[in-house]
């Protein structure tokens, strides 16, 4: 993917945890265009090494711009994460030059007759701002539910209100006494409406579970997670054997197979690191898989011969991969 150098021309805080950055070419040239739902990758420094982090492109003005002169992103600080967001908050300032991979869209809008129902959780609002703007520009029906823990977490609510008016429904967990009732929202959807959801894993899991209960086809819910996977209660260390080389690796409870493979000098294919894209699929020769991805079908999971190594783990003490 092409990489370009961009200047950070403006930085502002949207709330205590979210920082917005505007990126432009040093000579003011137009940048590669993008579609609603697209993201860029920004190079960060973590533990003395270069890495990349994905940030959705935010466009509330036109919904889609074929020749933008700037990119707008927002970064939520996560002090328990791998360090990329801390770098973007603490080290990056106005005037700095950052390396950026050109836009890519793994979360596009689709053509369908009914309304697009947008469900945003926290910082997951960012790609949905662009979607709302694009849908309005196209004259397509749209309504949006935007949920946050408390009012301090809000971002872009004024721009969304200007775009959507009464079609924007805000939900604050502390005021409502609990999380957004996604089951009720999906139950009210008409047969020709499709859902776009971006937010934390519990929100996405609730949406997918309710869609399955209602008998929706998989393609009716479009989604993007906005956080890397985290260790779950009960996660334990296990061994991975690479059948082609005989190499044996220990996977700690708080690390993924993918990260362990990379540290061991392997060169696995991967992209999202969130179990959404399917790029890191690995054949499994032996062992029981704890599937945690959003790619494989029920039949593929039951077969037990492939896994997404960025998120899925072993249920037992050992896996043998055909790598």
Sorted by sequence, the CB contacts under 8 Å of residue 42 that are 6+ apart come out as 52, 53, 55, 73, 88, 98, 99, 100, 101
User: If you search the block for the tokens 């072993």, which residue do you land on?
Assistant: 314
- For the entire predicted model, the pTM comes to 0.85
> Which of these, 113, 2, 8, 130, lies nearest to 57 by C-alpha position?
130
Q: Which CATH architecture has domain 116-225?
A: 3-Layer(aba) Sandwich (3.40)
Fold of 3-104: Elongation Factor Tu (Ef-tu); domain 3 (2.40.30)
Q: Where in the chain is the domain with CATH 2.40.30.10?
A: 3-104
User: Cα–Cα distance between 100 and 288 in angstroms, integer?
Assistant: 39
> Beta 97-104 vs 168-172: how paired, if at all?
unpaired
pLDDT at residue 277, as a whole number: 83
Which of these CATH numbers, 3.30.2290.10, 3.10.20.30, 3.20.20.70, 3.30.70.890, describes 238-321? 3.10.20.30
pLDDT at residue 76, as a whole number: 95
Residue 149 φ then ψ, to 5° = -65, -50
Q: Where in the chain is the domain with CATH 3.40.50.80?
A: 116-225
pLDDT at residue 224, as a whole number: 86
pLDDT at residue 287, as a whole number: 96
- Write the burial class of residue 308 (CB in 10 Å: 0-12 exposed, 13-18 middle, 19+ buried): buried
Q: What is the pLDDT along the chain (323 residues), one digit of tens a residue?
A: 689 999 999 999 999 999 999 999 999 999 999 999 999 999 999 988 899 999 999 997 765 557 899 999 999 999 887 789 999 999 999 999 999 999 999 999 999 999 999 999 999 999 999 999 999 999 999 999 999 999 999 999 999 999 999 999 999 999 999 999 999 999 999 999 999 999 988 999 999 999 999 999 989 999 987 666 677 888 999 999 999 999 999 999 989 999 899 989 998 988 878 888 889 999 999 999 999 988 888 889 999 999 999 999 999 999 999 99
Q: Where in the chain is the domain with CATH 3.10.20.30?
A: 238-321
């Amino acid at each position: 993917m092409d990489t370009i150098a961009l200047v950070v021309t403006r930085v502002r805080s949207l709330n205590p945890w979210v920082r917005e950055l505007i990126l432009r070419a040093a000579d003011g040239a137009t940048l590669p265009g993008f579609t609603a739902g697209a993201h860029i990758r920004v190079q960060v420094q973590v533990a003395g090494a270069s890495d990349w982090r994905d940030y959705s492109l935010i466009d509330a003005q036109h919904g889609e711009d074929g020749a933008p002169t700037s990119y707008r992103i927002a970064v939520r600080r996560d002090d328990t994460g791998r360090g990329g967001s801390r770098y973007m908050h603490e080290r990056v300032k106005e005037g700095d030059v950052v390396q950026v991979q050109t836009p890519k869209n793994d979360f596009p809008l689709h053509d369908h007759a009914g309304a697009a129902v947008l469900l945003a959780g926290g910082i997951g609002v960012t790609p949905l701002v662009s979607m709302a703007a694009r849908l309005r520009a196209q004259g397509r029906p749209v309504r949006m539910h935007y949920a946050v823990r408390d009012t301090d977490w809000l971002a872009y609510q004024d721009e969304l209100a200007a775009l959507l008016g009464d079609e924007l429904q805000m939900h604050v967990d502390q005021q409502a006494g609990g999380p957004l009732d996604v089951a009720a929202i999906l139950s009210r959807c008409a047969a020709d409406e499709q859902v776009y959801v971006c937010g934390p894993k519990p929100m996405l899991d609730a949406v997918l579970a309710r869609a399955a209960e209602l008998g929706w086809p998989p393609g009716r819910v479009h989604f993007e997670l906005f956080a890397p996977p985290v260790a779950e209660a009960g996660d334990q260390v296990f061994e991975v054997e690479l059948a082609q080389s005989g190499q044996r690796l220990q996977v700690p409870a708080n690390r993924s197979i993918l990260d362990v493979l990379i540290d061991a000098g392997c060169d696995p294919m991967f992209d999202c690191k969130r179990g959404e894209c399917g790029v890191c699929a690995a054949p499994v020769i032996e062992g029981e898989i704890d599937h945690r991805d959003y790619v494989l079908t029920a039949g593929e999971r039951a077969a037990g011969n492939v896994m997404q190594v960025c998120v899925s783990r072993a249920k037992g003490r050992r896996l043998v991969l055909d790598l």
